[in-house]
Amino acid sequence: MHPRPQDPPLPISNEELDRDLSIAAGELFSAHYAVKRLSLFYSPEALVRHGDREVLSNAVSLAAALHDFFAPLGQKLAAGPGPGDDLRPASPAPPRVVVADDHPAMLDMVASLLQPGFEVVARVADGQAALEAVQSLQPDLVVLDVSMPVLGGIAAAHKLQERGSCTRIVFLTAHQDAATLAAAREAGGLGFVLKANLATDLALALREALAGRIFVSLPERDSPGSTDLEPA
């Protein structure tokens, strides 16, 4: 680890800086999810017509302030470190993930979507293999397809609970129904991601699970067989 420049001295310690950045990142993920819900159900005109104007005004002002703060940081990160800049890694080692799905193409897609923010340490094709991978590798997260041969994702999650595993569980499924969602929650799942929403929801669900929060994909509106489930 390279030392960070200390001239002039920082007003807070490096540990406090890292803690504040982590908290800010987590809160922004939650805000992203809330904004996604609003944009899905309301147009800007409808928000102005029906929303609380003071709340909307505060949200717009805050968004502008966040842009002013983060835009220069984004430009700096894109440009890379310059002379005298801190050369340490921008973040700790990425969270380690085991992925279980019986379709090789889905395994490839999940691994691709999770780069570079996560490290996929194993790809397996059934729930029993997922149990063995979690036991041997002790990942931070496991992504389980609900329907798999040998042992399904929900049954595998129950076995992880019985073994006292600390690995956070996120489920993948092609269909969302109340019974499956309830079973997934009972099995200890913190995330429930529709495969149709994989590109937009998977990484967010994993981040939420790491923070101990629940994430449930929103079904596409007006799609055949969709439901109006909400996160509990």
What's residue 82's pLDDT? 61
Helix-then-strand count for the chain, H and E: 8, 6
The residue ranking higher by pLDDT, 218 or 146, is 146
CB within 8 A of 108, min separation 6: which ones? Answer: none
DSSP 120-189: EEEEESSHHHHHHHHHHH--SEEEEESS-SSS-HHHHHHHHHHTT---EEEEEES---HHHHHHHHHTTE
User: Cα(28)–Cα(229) distance, rounded to whole angstroms?
Assistant: 24
**Inter-residue contact 152 to 130 (CB < 8 Å):** no
What's residue 225's pLDDT? 37
Q: What is the distance in angstroms between the CA of the first residue and the CA of the last residue of the chain?
A: 42
- If phi > 0 it is left, if psi is from -120 to 50 it is alpha, else beta; for residue 53 that is alpha
The CATH architecture assigned to 96-216 reads 3-Layer(aba) Sandwich (3.40)
Q: How confident is the model over 135-149, as a mean pLDDT? A: 96
Q: Which residues pair with 194 in a beta bridge?
A: 173
Q: What is the pLDDT of residues 4-45, one digit of tens each?
A: 444 444 566 667 777 777 777 767 767 776 777 777 777 888
- Structural domain boundaries in the chain: 14-79, 96-216
Closest CA to 147 of 105, 114, 103: 103
User: Cα(184)–Cα(158) distance, rounded to whole angstroms?
Assistant: 9
pTM: 0.58
Checking if the pLDDT of 223 tops 70, the result is no
Average pLDDT value for the chain: 81
User: Cα(137)–Cα(206) distance, rounded to whole angstroms?
Assistant: 18
Token reading at 148: 């798999």
The interaxial angle of helices 198-210 and 14-41, nearest 10 deg, is 140
**Inter-residue contact 97 to 119 (CB < 8 Å):** yes
Closest CA to 113 of 172, 41, 180: 172
Q: How confident is the model over 133-150, as a mean pLDDT? A: 96
Checking if the pLDDT of 202 tops 60, the result is yes
Q: What is the pLDDT of residues 56-76, one digit of tens each?
A: 777 777 777 777 777 777 776
The interaxial angle of helices 153-162 and 127-137, nearest 10 deg, is 40
Q: What is the pLDDT of residues 162-180, one digit of tens each?
A: 999 999 999 999 888 889 9
**Inter-residue contact 100 to 127 (CB < 8 Å):** yes
The residue ranking higher by pLDDT, 105 or 82, is 105
- If phi > 0 it is left, if psi is from -120 to 50 it is alpha, else beta; for residue 151 that is beta
